[in-house]
Every structure is written in structure tokens, then in C-alpha cells.
Amino acid sequence: MTREQLAIVTSSRAVLLAAVVLAAVVIQDSAAVTQLTVSVANKLSSKKAVIVHCQSADDDLHGHAVVPDTPYSWSFGASVDAGTLFWCRLAFQDKRLGFTAYHASNGDYVTDHEVYDDGVYGNYVGSGERIHVAEWH
């Protein structure tokens, strides 16, 4: 085999190896993204709408008037490595509150939230355990 032929074979192997490594990285990255849906439901006793404004560092979902028994929800690709974070601010009459709706980096599996007279509760996926996450101010 000549030097020229050896250089071509070596170069071809390097290109093949680079392609395999790139494919492995792409497959690993796509596996790390999970499609999730987060919801905020209005359970206020007054049966009046609450204003819900949620956002992440990349997406502003703007304000929505959420009426009782009609949850507001959105879906997104959550990446644990990227630390996906959504937070919400709520307004009802003269009251305000803010809470973290989803945070990937802390293993948060609360995706369903309910707004009550004393604040917001989150329900853990799977167990259904309910926790008080924020109160009105």
C-alpha cells in the first residue's frame, strides 16, 4: 500500500469514527428530552377567573384568564441536563403570588397545580401527594 492510499484509508477511518461519535451524542441528547405537560386549574370558591402568566427563560406564555374547572396547560420538551424551569405569577382581585411550575434540575415531578383560596397546591405525578407550594400576598 502506498503512502497516498494509507493516508486515504486513515482519513476515511477518522471520518467514520467522527460520524459514529456524533450519532451517539445526538441519540443521547434526544433521549434526555421528555415531552411534559404542566397545568394550572382554578379551584377558587368565588368561581371567578384568575390571571395566570407563566414563562421560562426562553418562552413567555403571556397572561391567561383561567376560569374555574377549565385548566390552562402547556407542553414542552424538558431536558434534565438543561435545567428546564417554568415559573408562574398569578393575580386574583388584589392578591398576587408566584411559584415554580416545573424545574427539571431538582427532580421536580409536580406538573399539575390547583389554585385555591389559600394558595397553589401541586400534585406529585404518580403518588398524587398534594403539597402547598405558594400562598397569596
Which of 105, 102, 106, 137 lies closest to 123, judged by CA?
A: 102
Q: Tens digit of pLDDT for each residue in 6-25?
A: 555 455 565 444 444 444 44
Distance CA 90, CA 97 (A): 5
40-91 per-position pLDDT tens digit: 999 999 999 999 999 999 999 999 999 998 999 999 888 766 678 899 999 9
CA nearest to 49, candidates 70, 35, 30 = 70
The CA distances from residue 107 to 84, 85, 103, 124, in Å, are 10, 11, 7, 11
